[in-house]
C-alpha cells in the first residue's frame, strides 16, 4: 500500500491541529485583556469622581460634582450605558459605576465574560458641610 507512505500534506495537517489551541489561547488572552482594561478604566473614573466630589460645599453639590466628573472620565466602551451613582454623607463620599460589559461584548461565544463590571471609590471627609435644601 503506497497510500500510507505518501507524506505530502502532513505538515499542513499538523499545523492545523496545533493552531486550534493556539488560536483559543490567543483569543482568550485578548478577550480578558479587554475585560481588565475596562475594569481599570471604570476604577479610574470612580476615583476621579470621588476626588472631584470633595470640592462640593453641600451634600447635593458633592454628589453632582462626583457624578459629572466620573462621567467625564469614562473614555472606553459605550460610556452612555454606564450607571454612575454617588452617595454623600458628612463623613464620606462614595462613587459607584456599573457597566453592562457582556451586552456589547464582541467576544466569541466560547469565551465567557462578566455581564456586569462594577467599580467603587470612597473618600472620607472631615470638613463641615453647609446645610442644604433637598437636592
Q: Write out the chain's pLDDT in tens, 135 residues.
A: 566 676 778 888 899 999 999 988 888 888 888 889 889 999 999 999 999 999 888 889 999 999 999 999 998 767 778 999 999 988 899 999 999 887 765 665 667 888 899 999 999 987 766 776 666
- Distance of alpha carbon 81 from alpha carbon 45, whole angstroms: 14
What is the domain count for the chain? 1
- Residue pair 100/115 in contact (Cβ under 8 Å)? The answer is yes
Q: Measured on CA atoms in the order 118, 67, 132, 129, is the torsion positive or negative? A: positive
- Distance of alpha carbon 106 from alpha carbon 109, whole angstroms: 9
In a domain, 131, yes or no: no
In a domain, 4, yes or no: no
- Distance of alpha carbon 93 from alpha carbon 87, whole angstroms: 6
Range of the domain at 97: 10-124
In a domain, 135, yes or no: no
In a domain, 46, yes or no: yes
- Distance of alpha carbon 73 from alpha carbon 42, whole angstroms: 9
- Pull the grid cell for residue 118: 462594577
The pairing of beta strand 83-88 with beta strand 117-124: unpaired
In a domain, 62, yes or no: yes
In a domain, 130, yes or no: no
Amino acid at each position: 500500500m503506497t497510500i500510507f507512505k505518501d507524506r505530502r500534506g502532513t505538515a499542513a495537517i499538523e499545523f492545523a491541529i496545533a493552531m486550534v489551541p493556539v488560536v483559543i489561547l490567543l483569543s482568550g488572552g485578548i478577550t480578558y485583556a479587554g475585560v481588565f482594561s475596562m475594569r481599570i478604566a471604570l476604577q479610574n473614573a470612580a476615583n476621579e469622581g470621588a476626588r472631584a466630589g470633595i470640592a462640593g460645599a453641600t451634600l447635593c453639590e458633592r454628589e453632582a460634582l462626583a457624578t459629572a466628573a466620573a462621567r467625564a472620565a469614562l473614555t472606553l466602551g459605550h460610556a452612555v450605558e454606564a450607571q454612575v451613582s454617588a452617595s454623600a454623607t458628612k463623613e464620606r463620599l462614595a462613587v459607584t459605576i456599573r457597566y453592562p460589559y457582556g451586552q456589547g461584548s464582541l467576544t466569541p461565544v466560547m469565551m465567557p465574560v462578566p455581564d456586569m463590571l462594577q467599580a467603587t471609590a470612597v473618600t472620607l471627609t472631615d470638613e463641615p458641610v453647609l446645610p442644604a435644601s433637598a437636592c
